[in-house]
Amino acid sequence: MLFVAEPTLGEEEKRALSEVIDQGWITMGERVSRFEREFAEKHEMQDAVAVSSCTAGLHLVMLALGIQPGDEVLVPAMTFAASVNCVLYVGARPVFVDIESLDMPLMSIDDATAKCTEKTKAIILVHYAGYLADRSRWRTFAAERGIVLIEDAAHAAGMVGAGTIGTAGVFSFYGNKNLTTAEGGMVVSEDYHLLERIRQLRAHGLTASTFQRHLNQGITYDVTMLGYNYRMDELRAALGLVQLKNLDTWNKKRRDLSLLYHKILPRDCPEIRIPFYGHPGGSAHHIMPVVLPSDSNRQQVMSKLYGMGIQTTVHYPPAHKLSLYRDLLGPTRLPWTEKFASHELTLPLHPRMTEAQVEQVSEALAEALAQISQQELADG
């Protein structure tokens, strides 16, 4: 089976984990600090804070920025649940915003403008598929309205510029991401005081960490704020340090495979749309989304491809249609998001793929669409 995503792990990762175990200190320590420094440097930032997940990082950013009940936060519905949940965690209200179009499934600045109110305190930009939102337009948008810009950069690890658009950016290291530590995340910001507050919040609000006390840097500690257990451990940091060394190479491979998809899909499947087509640069190329014809049955296409040994998936069910948010926030109409979400299909894309496999996927997709069309004609 050719999977949509597959982590690249090998002997170097095994050795890194063994070294942590042999040395005996497995909770947050020196490797976490080194991972933070090297990740920040990779993204041309001064500092970063490692956390247990991207979700945890988004929650801590909300807390550190003082987002609270009564506030509204603009968030795209074309995203994973974590982008919405972090707003609810602090008691604020998510306000769903449409995407620009089928070809540009990033948050619409026009719809965001229409949904701004005096209660709007922040906006969460999601770099869907690894493509960065427009820096200058969104910075101007936020500055003119006095609201905070936060980047959900879960798809954008290794992309220079990600995390520098807003006040803070949060990355994911989940198992299907460009860089993985199994679970984990990273917060970046140019605001030193914001990062220090997040650093304390991630560890119960303690003024000194266990590792600092282990090194006799702090005899005791105080708790000066309500914190959480959102720490990263040494095992995950060890994985991250190895993965970080290979990230540029892997992202280049993703880019090359994406370019090949952009070249051959129009040849094999002229009836599909390719988001971001013609703009393959400026992305970490985390996933490969396509939009099926409006008259096609996506589930049938997915089943046909699975039968040919090719896994596909959907990014994402639109958040504003999910039961929890619909019940809490009421109905919302987002025409472009709904149209995109009903026909989007994510094709395999990861560094372990070959160019021949991209050709295989493109040809199989064309065959699946043709078979379904022929069956419909026969039934019709």
Catalytic residue positions, numbered:
177
DSSP annotation of 68 reads -
User: What's the per-residue H, E or C state across 258-324?
Assistant: HHHHHHHHHHHCCCCECCCCCCCCCECCCCEEEECCCCCCHHHHHHHHHHCCECCECCCCCHHHCHH
Residue in the block written with tokens 């690890």: 157
Burial of 102 (0-12, 13-18, 19+ CB in 10 A): middle
Structure tokens at 271: 């009836």
CB 36 within 8 A of CB 47: yes
Give SS3 for 56: helix
Cα–Cα distance for residue pair 185/52, rounded to 1 Å: 6
Residues of the chain by 3-state class (helix, strand, coil), percent to 5: 45, 15, 40
CB 49 within 8 A of CB 202: yes
Cα–Cα distance for residue pair 94/79, rounded to 1 Å: 13
